Structure 1
Protein backbone atom coordinates (compact mmCIF):
# COMPACT_ATOMS: atom_id res chain seq x y z
CA UNK A 1 0.00 0.00 0.00
CA UNK A 2 1.27 3.45 -0.90
CA UNK A 3 0.23 6.90 0.15
CA UNK A 4 -1.40 8.55 -2.86
CA UNK A 5 1.25 11.15 -3.62
CA UNK A 6 3.44 12.15 -6.54
CA UNK A 7 6.14 9.64 -5.56
CA UNK A 8 3.85 6.60 -5.38
CA UNK A 9 4.15 5.57 -9.04
CA UNK A 10 7.94 5.45 -9.07
CA UNK A 11 8.13 3.65 -5.71
CA UNK A 12 5.49 1.11 -6.74
CA UNK A 13 7.15 0.42 -10.10
CA UNK A 14 10.54 -0.20 -8.50
CA UNK A 15 9.10 -2.55 -5.90
CA UNK A 16 7.02 -4.41 -8.51
CA UNK A 17 10.01 -4.99 -10.78
CA UNK A 18 12.11 -6.27 -7.87
CA UNK A 19 9.33 -8.59 -6.70
CA UNK A 20 8.60 -10.06 -10.12
CA UNK A 21 12.31 -10.40 -10.89
CA UNK A 22 12.46 -12.84 -7.97
CA UNK A 23 9.77 -15.00 -9.57
CA UNK A 24 12.13 -16.13 -12.34
CA UNK A 25 10.75 -14.70 -15.58
CA UNK A 26 13.94 -13.76 -17.45
CA UNK A 27 12.02 -13.03 -20.67
CA UNK A 28 9.64 -10.54 -19.04
CA UNK A 29 10.10 -7.02 -20.36
CA UNK A 30 10.82 -5.23 -17.08
CA UNK A 31 10.46 -1.81 -18.68
CA UNK A 32 6.89 -2.69 -19.76
CA UNK A 33 6.16 -3.94 -16.24
CA UNK A 34 7.48 -0.71 -14.72
CA UNK A 35 5.51 1.39 -17.20
CA UNK A 36 2.28 -0.51 -16.48
CA UNK A 37 2.67 0.00 -12.74
CA UNK A 38 3.59 3.67 -13.14
CA UNK A 39 0.66 4.43 -15.42
CA UNK A 40 -1.93 2.58 -13.35
CA UNK A 41 -0.68 4.04 -10.06
CA UNK A 42 -0.59 7.54 -11.52
CA UNK A 43 -4.22 7.14 -12.62
CA UNK A 44 -5.17 5.79 -9.18
CA UNK A 45 -3.49 8.73 -7.43
CA UNK A 46 -5.46 11.09 -9.70
CA UNK A 47 -8.68 9.53 -8.36
CA UNK A 48 -8.11 11.58 -5.22
CA UNK A 49 -7.94 8.95 -2.51
CA UNK A 50 -5.50 8.80 0.39
CA UNK A 51 -3.85 5.52 -0.57
CA UNK A 52 -3.21 3.20 -3.50
CA UNK A 53 -2.80 -0.58 -3.36
CA UNK A 54 -0.73 -2.56 -5.86
CA UNK A 55 -1.18 -6.31 -6.16
CA UNK A 56 0.89 -8.71 -8.26
CA UNK A 57 0.24 -12.28 -9.30
CA UNK A 58 1.52 -14.81 -11.80
CA UNK A 59 0.33 -17.94 -13.51
CA UNK A 60 1.36 -19.81 -16.65
CA UNK A 61 3.93 -17.28 -17.91
CA UNK A 62 1.59 -14.32 -17.28
CA UNK A 63 2.02 -11.52 -14.72
CA UNK A 64 -0.97 -9.67 -13.31
CA UNK A 65 -0.72 -6.08 -12.06
CA UNK A 66 -3.81 -4.85 -10.22
CA UNK A 67 -4.08 -1.36 -8.74
CA UNK A 68 -6.82 -0.24 -6.38
CA UNK A 69 -7.47 3.47 -5.89
CA UNK A 70 -9.80 3.13 -2.86
CA UNK A 71 -12.11 5.69 -4.53
CA UNK A 72 -15.28 4.27 -6.13
CA UNK A 73 -16.22 5.31 -9.64
CA UNK A 74 -13.31 7.08 -11.28
CA UNK A 75 -14.17 9.27 -14.25
CA UNK A 76 -11.25 8.60 -16.64
CA UNK A 77 -10.22 5.24 -18.03
CA UNK A 78 -8.03 6.63 -20.84
CA UNK A 79 -4.96 5.15 -19.15
CA UNK A 80 -6.10 1.69 -20.21
CA UNK A 81 -5.46 2.48 -23.88
CA UNK A 82 -1.95 3.64 -23.08
CA UNK A 83 -1.26 0.50 -21.07
CA UNK A 84 -2.76 -1.80 -23.72
CA UNK A 85 -0.41 -0.31 -26.33
CA UNK A 86 2.68 -1.75 -24.62
CA UNK A 87 4.19 -4.70 -26.49
CA UNK A 88 3.94 -7.35 -23.77
CA UNK A 89 0.52 -6.39 -22.40
CA UNK A 90 -2.08 -9.05 -23.26
CA UNK A 91 -5.14 -7.43 -21.72
CA UNK A 92 -6.32 -4.60 -19.49
CA UNK A 93 -9.49 -3.78 -17.62
CA UNK A 94 -11.16 -1.87 -14.86
CA UNK A 95 -14.12 -2.20 -12.56
CA UNK A 96 -15.52 -0.40 -9.58
CA UNK A 97 -16.52 -1.86 -6.25
CA UNK A 98 -17.50 -0.38 -2.88
CA UNK A 99 -13.82 -0.40 -1.87
CA UNK A 100 -12.74 1.57 -4.96
CA UNK A 101 -11.76 1.42 -8.58
CA UNK A 102 -9.59 -1.47 -9.71
CA UNK A 103 -7.45 -1.32 -12.82
CA UNK A 104 -5.49 -4.30 -14.05
CA UNK A 105 -3.15 -5.45 -16.78
CA UNK A 106 -1.82 -8.86 -17.71
CA UNK A 107 1.67 -9.04 -19.18
CA UNK A 108 3.12 -11.93 -21.17
CA UNK A 109 6.28 -13.21 -19.48
CA UNK A 110 6.94 -16.09 -21.89
CA UNK A 111 10.08 -16.05 -24.01
CA UNK A 112 9.52 -14.50 -27.42
CA UNK A 113 9.89 -16.62 -30.50
CA UNK A 114 12.99 -15.71 -32.45
CA UNK A 115 12.28 -13.98 -35.72
CA UNK A 116 13.12 -16.02 -38.76
CA UNK A 117 14.69 -14.51 -41.81
CA UNK A 118 12.54 -14.51 -44.90
CA UNK A 119 13.95 -14.70 -48.34
CA UNK A 120 12.47 -13.23 -51.46
CA UNK A 121 11.51 -15.77 -54.08
Structure 2
Protein backbone atom coordinates (compact mmCIF):
# COMPACT_ATOMS: atom_id res chain seq x y z
CA UNK A 1 0.00 0.00 0.00
CA UNK A 2 0.99 3.42 -0.73
CA UNK A 3 1.29 5.90 2.03
CA UNK A 4 0.26 9.45 1.30
CA UNK A 5 2.02 10.91 4.27
CA UNK A 6 3.87 14.11 3.61
CA UNK A 7 7.51 14.34 4.36
CA UNK A 8 8.41 16.05 7.62
CA UNK A 9 9.96 19.05 5.84
CA UNK A 10 6.77 20.11 4.09
CA UNK A 11 4.46 19.86 7.10
CA UNK A 12 3.77 23.19 8.81
CA UNK A 13 5.28 23.60 12.22
CA UNK A 14 2.77 23.62 15.06
CA UNK A 15 3.93 27.12 16.18
CA UNK A 16 3.61 28.73 12.75
CA UNK A 17 2.09 31.28 12.23
CA UNK A 18 2.79 32.54 15.71
CA UNK A 19 -0.31 33.42 17.61
CA UNK A 20 -0.28 36.53 19.69
CA UNK A 21 -2.20 36.41 22.91
CA UNK A 22 -5.51 38.27 22.87
CA UNK A 23 -5.44 41.69 24.48
CA UNK A 24 -6.52 41.74 28.09
CA UNK A 25 -10.13 42.69 28.53
CA UNK A 26 -10.59 46.06 30.12
CA UNK A 27 -13.13 46.03 32.90
CA UNK A 28 -15.93 48.52 32.31
CA UNK A 29 -15.42 51.74 34.19
CA UNK A 30 -18.10 52.60 36.68
CA UNK A 31 -20.36 55.54 35.76
CA UNK A 32 -19.34 58.89 37.23
CA UNK A 33 -21.04 59.76 40.48
CA UNK A 34 -24.09 61.95 40.12
CA UNK A 35 -23.32 65.14 41.95
CA UNK A 36 -25.94 67.81 42.20
CA UNK A 37 -24.71 71.35 42.66
CA UNK A 38 -26.86 73.59 44.76
CA UNK A 39 -27.33 76.85 42.78
CA UNK A 40 -27.15 78.78 46.04
CA UNK A 41 -23.53 77.69 46.42
CA UNK A 42 -22.39 79.82 43.48
CA UNK A 43 -20.19 81.64 42.41
CA UNK A 44 -19.14 78.69 40.33
CA UNK A 45 -18.53 78.96 36.59
CA UNK A 46 -22.00 78.89 35.12
CA UNK A 47 -22.77 77.87 31.57
CA UNK A 48 -25.90 78.49 29.56
CA UNK A 49 -27.67 75.23 28.88
CA UNK A 50 -28.07 75.76 25.14
CA UNK A 51 -25.05 77.80 24.14
CA UNK A 52 -22.37 76.71 26.58
CA UNK A 53 -21.43 80.38 26.97
CA UNK A 54 -20.81 81.93 30.37
CA UNK A 55 -23.88 83.50 31.89
CA UNK A 56 -24.24 86.15 34.55
CA UNK A 57 -26.52 85.79 37.50
CA UNK A 58 -28.45 88.68 39.06
CA UNK A 59 -27.28 91.28 36.54
CA UNK A 60 -27.95 92.35 32.99
CA UNK A 61 -25.20 92.08 30.42
CA UNK A 62 -24.44 92.34 26.72
CA UNK A 63 -21.45 92.18 24.36
CA UNK A 64 -20.67 93.31 20.82
CA UNK A 65 -17.92 92.44 18.34
CA UNK A 66 -16.87 95.37 16.18
CA UNK A 67 -14.37 95.85 13.38
CA UNK A 68 -11.23 97.59 14.58
CA UNK A 69 -11.89 100.78 12.63
CA UNK A 70 -11.83 104.45 13.61
CA UNK A 71 -15.66 104.53 13.70
CA UNK A 72 -15.86 101.63 16.22
CA UNK A 73 -16.16 104.04 19.17
CA UNK A 74 -19.27 105.70 17.72
CA UNK A 75 -20.81 102.31 16.94
CA UNK A 76 -20.04 101.12 20.49
CA UNK A 77 -21.75 104.21 21.94
CA UNK A 78 -24.84 103.62 19.79
CA UNK A 79 -25.07 99.96 20.90
CA UNK A 80 -24.34 100.57 24.61
CA UNK A 81 -26.66 103.57 24.94
CA UNK A 82 -29.42 101.67 23.12
CA UNK A 83 -29.06 98.71 25.48
CA UNK A 84 -29.05 100.91 28.57
CA UNK A 85 -32.22 102.62 27.34
CA UNK A 86 -33.79 99.21 26.70
CA UNK A 87 -32.97 98.25 30.30
CA UNK A 88 -34.65 101.44 31.55
CA UNK A 89 -31.37 102.97 32.70
CA UNK A 90 -30.55 106.64 32.17
CA UNK A 91 -27.58 107.04 29.81
CA UNK A 92 -24.82 109.05 31.54
CA UNK A 93 -23.93 112.26 29.70
CA UNK A 94 -20.21 111.44 29.65
CA UNK A 95 -20.72 107.91 28.29
CA UNK A 96 -19.98 108.81 24.67
CA UNK A 97 -16.60 110.43 25.29
CA UNK A 98 -15.59 107.64 27.69
CA UNK A 99 -16.57 104.86 25.26
CA UNK A 100 -14.90 106.52 22.28
CA UNK A 101 -11.69 106.87 24.27
CA UNK A 102 -11.74 103.28 25.57
CA UNK A 103 -12.49 101.76 22.15
CA UNK A 104 -9.88 104.03 20.55
CA UNK A 105 -7.25 102.61 22.90
CA UNK A 106 -7.95 98.99 21.91
CA UNK A 107 -8.37 99.79 18.19
CA UNK A 108 -4.87 101.31 18.27
CA UNK A 109 -3.44 97.85 18.99
CA UNK A 110 -3.99 96.98 15.32
CA UNK A 111 -6.16 93.87 15.55
CA UNK A 112 -8.94 92.90 13.15
CA UNK A 113 -11.77 93.28 15.64
CA UNK A 114 -12.52 94.53 19.13
CA UNK A 115 -15.25 93.62 21.57
CA UNK A 116 -17.21 95.75 23.99
CA UNK A 117 -18.84 94.14 27.03
CA UNK A 118 -21.47 95.72 29.26
CA UNK A 119 -22.91 94.72 32.63
CA UNK A 120 -25.25 96.59 34.96
CA UNK A 121 -25.79 95.96 38.66
CA UNK A 122 -26.67 98.05 41.73
CA UNK A 123 -26.95 101.34 39.80
CA UNK A 124 -23.51 100.92 38.28
CA UNK A 125 -22.44 99.88 34.82
CA UNK A 126 -19.22 98.09 33.87
CA UNK A 127 -17.84 98.62 30.38
CA UNK A 128 -14.95 96.51 29.09
CA UNK A 129 -13.18 97.02 25.76
CA UNK A 130 -10.94 94.19 24.55
CA UNK A 131 -8.52 94.40 21.61
CA UNK A 132 -8.11 90.67 20.77
CA UNK A 133 -4.62 91.56 19.54
CA UNK A 134 -1.77 90.50 21.86
CA UNK A 135 0.61 93.35 22.49
CA UNK A 136 3.34 94.17 24.96
CA UNK A 137 3.11 97.94 24.57
CA UNK A 138 1.74 99.38 27.83
CA UNK A 139 -0.89 102.11 27.82
CA UNK A 140 0.30 105.62 28.54
CA UNK A 141 0.43 106.87 32.10
CA UNK A 142 -2.30 109.42 31.35
CA UNK A 143 -4.95 106.83 30.31
CA UNK A 144 -6.39 106.14 33.76
CA UNK A 145 -6.52 109.81 34.86
CA UNK A 146 -8.32 110.62 31.59
CA UNK A 147 -10.90 107.87 32.20
CA UNK A 148 -11.47 109.18 35.74
CA UNK A 149 -11.94 112.73 34.40
CA UNK A 150 -14.50 111.34 31.92
CA UNK A 151 -16.69 110.07 34.77
CA UNK A 152 -15.35 106.62 35.64
CA UNK A 153 -15.69 105.72 39.32
CA UNK A 154 -13.11 102.97 38.90
CA UNK A 155 -11.02 101.93 35.89
CA UNK A 156 -8.01 99.92 34.81
CA UNK A 157 -6.12 98.63 31.83
CA UNK A 158 -4.12 95.44 31.53
CA UNK A 159 -2.34 93.34 28.94
CA UNK A 160 -3.52 89.74 28.68
CA UNK A 161 -2.92 86.83 26.31
CA UNK A 162 -6.10 87.90 24.47
CA UNK A 163 -5.00 91.50 24.11
CA UNK A 164 -5.42 94.79 25.88
CA UNK A 165 -8.36 95.15 28.25
CA UNK A 166 -9.62 98.57 29.25
CA UNK A 167 -12.50 98.72 31.71
CA UNK A 168 -14.39 101.38 33.57
CA UNK A 169 -17.21 101.42 36.12
CA UNK A 170 -19.73 104.26 35.88
CA UNK A 171 -22.09 105.27 38.65
CA UNK A 172 -25.60 105.69 37.30
CA UNK A 173 -26.88 107.55 40.34
CA UNK A 174 -24.83 110.69 39.72
- Structure 2: 5+ residue stretches without partners: 1-64
Find out whether 1:70 has 2:132 as its counterpart: yes
Tell me what 2:113 maps to: 51
Tell me what 1:90 maps to: 153
Find out whether 1:4 has 2:75 as its counterpart: no
2: CA distance, partners of 1:74 / 1:81: 18
SS in 1 for 2:94: helix
* Deviation, structure 1 residue 109: 0.5
TM-score (norm 2): 0.58
| Bigger mean CA offset, 70-79 vs 98-107 | 70-79
2: CA distance, partners of 1:74 / 1:103: 14
* Deviation, structure 1 residue 25: 2.1
Task: Determine if contact 1:92/1:106 at 8 Å carries over to the other structure.
Answer: yes
Tell me what 1:36 maps to: 98
Task: Determine if contact 2:139/2:157 at 8 Å carries over to the other structure.
Answer: no
TM-score (norm 1): 0.81
Tell me what 1:19 maps to: 83
Larger % of helix: which? 1
Tell me what 1:109 maps to: 172
SS in 1 for 2:132: coil
2: CA distance, partners of 1:35 / 1:15: 14
Call closer, same or farther: CA 1:20–1:83 in 2, change over 3 Å. same
Larger % of strand: which? 1
Number of aligned residue pairs: 108
* Deviation, structure 1 residue 55: 0.2
Q: Which has the higher contact order (CA 8 A, sep 6+)?
A: 1
- Structure 1: 5+ residue stretches without partners: 113-121
SS in 2 for 1:5: coil
1: CA distance, partners of 2:137 / 2:124: 27
